[in-house]
Amino acid sequence: MHTEAAKEVIYLDNNATTAVAPQVFEAMVPYLTEFYGNPSSAYSFGQRVRGSLEHARERVAALINADPKEIFFTSCGTEADNAAIASALQTTGKKHIVTTQVEHSAIMNQCEGLEKQGYGVTWLPVNSEGLLDLGELERAIRPDTAIVTIMWANNETGVIFPIEEIAKICKAKGVLFHTDAVQTPGKISIDVKAAGVDFLSLSGHKLHAPKGVGVLYVKRRTKFLPYLIGGGQERGKRGGTENVASIIGLGRAAELARETLIDEQTRVRALRDRFENTLLERLPYLYINGNREQRLPNTSNIAFDFVEAEAILMRLDMKGICASSGSACTTGSLDPSHVLSAMGLTPARARSCVRFSFSHYNTDKDIDYALDVIPPIIEQLRKMSPLGPDHPDNDKYDVAAAREREEKAMAETMAKINE
Ligand SMILES: *Cc1c(COP(=O)(O)O)cnc(C)c1O
């Protein structure tokens, strides 16, 4: 796992995926070699694997304060998200969903697809700091609302939503509530009982377990219909032979996430803050996206005005630094991020944003290196940029100025009409 190529990389893209923890890999190996039995087989060679699988379920349950019976393993976070929504629509027979404009593509694209099939979807807006108006949520819930689905923390900006308050509103209105909590484990503490959610999604590869395994938490006594129909695996809630080794890895990762929580909230947060504050000191025309208080401790999303994020990322890549613009799932498209657009950034500013996301494995040395490399890259790109603070088009980056320009154009049009 620690090859020369991996050693040379400064990995600052931990919201896209994470390294498999060595302890996780170690826990998995026996289930890829010796213990290959099917956990559904009745003989002891299978039942031994069943025992380990159930132990992993207990560990995942402990991470979020759930009962092991409320934990179902899936193939990824996307499947968990899709399964929760699909089940709620089927069990309630209702045809309306409430969600936000800043969800991960797993929820966003599913809801867009449902809209095309005739379902109603209310897309709640966010303010310039990425925060929701809970009054607006309350007003959006209707008698025909099947489910409210709102992420716990945003993958692009790290902005955290008040899940407990949202769950209370849903409960008072008698509507199911799902939260995509894929970005939270090991970063903030999760307690499904205190939060009062009905469904919650997790993904292995965002918490130092392998790719291709996820979790759906389904609160006790909540009606649930399986998304994958097959054998009676996962007590009839998810067909398909279990991805045993990955599930066991995820169990170990869940245990590690509880241990590293303090480190993420103190040391990793301090790394992130030093990174941001130093860049803000060294470079003009930088903006941090997202509310700085209600934010994951590991995420930093920065607008570098007058420069294209894609150009920054290419130069960072040449220096061995991994970071990203928008989410990994939308890389390659030239559209600005839907999250940053929802926050009201102009398309030009949204295209200048880079997300850096840190982890337990990042060190002060990584941050020192990044802080040496980034300022000259930005200064050089700004010199080459046709735009800049003195350019007449620089208001492309300024929301207030852009609005003023639009209003002026509108006023001119109105004046012409009235002439
Ligand atoms: C990564 C991610 C997902 C998707 O998880 P996969 O396991 O990759 O399918 C869903 N939601 C959020 C917020 C994510 O960051």
Q: What angle do CA 329, 121, 226 make, to 5 degrees?
A: 70
Q: What is the number of other CB atoms lying within 10 angstroms of the CB of residue 51?
A: 11
* Minimal-distance CA residue to ligand 1 atom 6: 77
Ligand 1 atom 5, closest CA? 77
Query: Angle between the 364-384 and 309-318 helix axes, to the nearest 10 degrees?
Result: 130
pLDDT at 414: 76
Looking at residue 3, its pLDDT comes to 54
Fold of the CATH domain 22-257: Aspartate Aminotransferase; domain 2 (3.40.640)
For ligand 1, atom 14: residue with the closest CA: 182
Residue to mutate, 17, 182, 338, ligand 1, most ligand atoms under 8 Å from C-beta: 182
Q: Which residue do the tokens 């292995």 mark?
A: 204
Q: Which long-range contacts (CB under 8 A, 24 or more apart) does 87-93 make?
A: 87/223, 87/224, 87/225, 87/226, 87/227, 88/146, 88/147, 88/176, 88/178, 88/199, 89/114, 89/119, 89/146, 89/147, 90/225, 91/223, 91/224, 91/225, 92/146, 92/147, 92/176, 93/146
Q: Does domain 261-418 have CATH number 3.90.1150.10?
A: yes
pLDDT at position 417, please? 75
Sign of CA dihedral 151, 153, 158, 160: positive
Give ranges for CATH 3.40.640.10 in the chain: 22-257
Distance 78 CA to ligand 1 centre (A): 6
Q: Which atom of ligand 1 is nearest to the CA of 17?
A: 1
Give the rounded distance of the alpha carbon of 11 from its chain centre.
Answer: 17
Q: Which amino acid is at 152?
A: W
- pLDDT score for 329: 46
- Residue bearing the CA closest to ligand 1, atom 3: 77
Element spanning 310, H or E: helix 309-318
Atom of ligand 1 nearest to the CA of 328: 1
Pocket of ligand 1 (CB under 6 A): 76-78, 81, 104, 106, 151, 155, 180, 182-183, 203, 205-206, 214
Q: Are 98 and 124 in contact (CB under 8 A)?
A: yes
Atom index in ligand 1 nearest the CA of residue 78 equals: 9
CB 49 within 8 A of CB 31: yes
Residues of the chain where predicted confidence (pLDDT) is lower than 50: 1, 329-330
Distance 416 CA to ligand 1 centre (A): 50
Question: Which residues have CB under 8 Å from 44's CB, separation 6+?
Answer: none
Q: Which of 111, 170, 322, 329 is catalytic?
A: 329
Q: Given the structure tokens 């993958």, which residue do they identify? A: 155
Q: Which residue has its alpha carbon closest to ligand 1 atom 15?
A: 155
- In total, the chain counts a number of residues equal to 419
Q: How far is the CA of 412 from the centre of ligand 1 (A)?
A: 46
pTM (predicted TM-score): 0.92
User: How much is the pLDDT for 324?
Assistant: 96
- Say how many Å lie between the CA of residue 273 and the centre of ligand 1: 25
**Is 329 annotated as catalytic?**
yes
* pLDDT value at residue 181: 98
What integer pLDDT is reported at residue 399 of this predicted model? 59
Where does CATH 3.90.1150.10 sit in the chain? 261-418
What DSSP line would sit under 242-307, residue for residue?
--HHHHHHHHHHHHHHHHHHHHIIIIIHHHHHHHHHHHHHH-SSEEE-S-SSSB-TTEEEEEETTS
